Amino acid sequence: MRTLLHPASKAPALTDLALLVSRVALGVVLLAHGWQKLNDYTVSGTAASFDQMGVPAPTAAATFATAVEIVGGAALILGLLTPVLALLNTINLLGALVLVHAGNGVFVENGGYELVLALAAGLVVIAMLGAGKFSLDGLIGRRYSFASPTDRAAHERAGAVTA
């Protein structure tokens, strides 16, 4: 029953695989939306739309949203600085939810919050769990140990495996 309810408990690589799939999917959506703001709408056009929607400081908000979606989307795909960029995109989406979408109900067809809520929920998971092994963050973490020699010696004395 434990395996059925917690499949990754017997195969930890499943957690890393789930994080990879989630990161890439979320990253593609964010990158596409950021690119759309930059290339199709332009930042000034996005700022004008934000102004009509009542978003405060629309030019700053449009610049932030565009940058964090493009940079964050690409970084999520690669798994680079994942918790930080997932958190920044979560903040961006929470702003969109509160300032624009909350009053329109759930469904996106009515301008609702379902997409921003789903994206934010996925990003919170990524921000809390990190990128997983199949990422640049994982590669950097394996290549460089940030523990001090004293910490490493204490772990070795306690019987912990160090890599």
The tens digit of pLDDT for each residue in 149-161 reads 555 555 566 665 4
Geometric angle at alpha carbon 27, from 112 and 128, rounded to 5°: 85
HSE (CB half, 13 Å, CA atoms) of 139? 7
pTM: 0.84
55 vs 148: which has the higher pLDDT: 55
pLDDT the model gives residue 5 = 85
Nearest to 106 by CA among 30, 97, 25: 97
pLDDT, mean of residues 7-23: 92
Query: Is 138's pLDDT higher than 90?
Result: yes
Following DSSP, what letter does each residue of 93-142 receive, concatenated?
A: HHHHIIIIIGGG-S-GGGT-SHHHHHHHHHHHHHHHH-S-SSSHHHHHHH
- Mean pLDDT in residue range 73-78: 98
How many residues are there in the chain? 163
> With 50 as the cut, is the pLDDT of residue 163 above it?
no
| Confidence bin at 24 (pLDDT 50/70/90) | very high
Are 23 and 126 in contact by the 8 Å Cβ rule? The answer is: yes
pLDDT of 2 strictly over 50: yes
Rounded (to 5) percent helix, strand, coil in the chain: 75, 0, 25
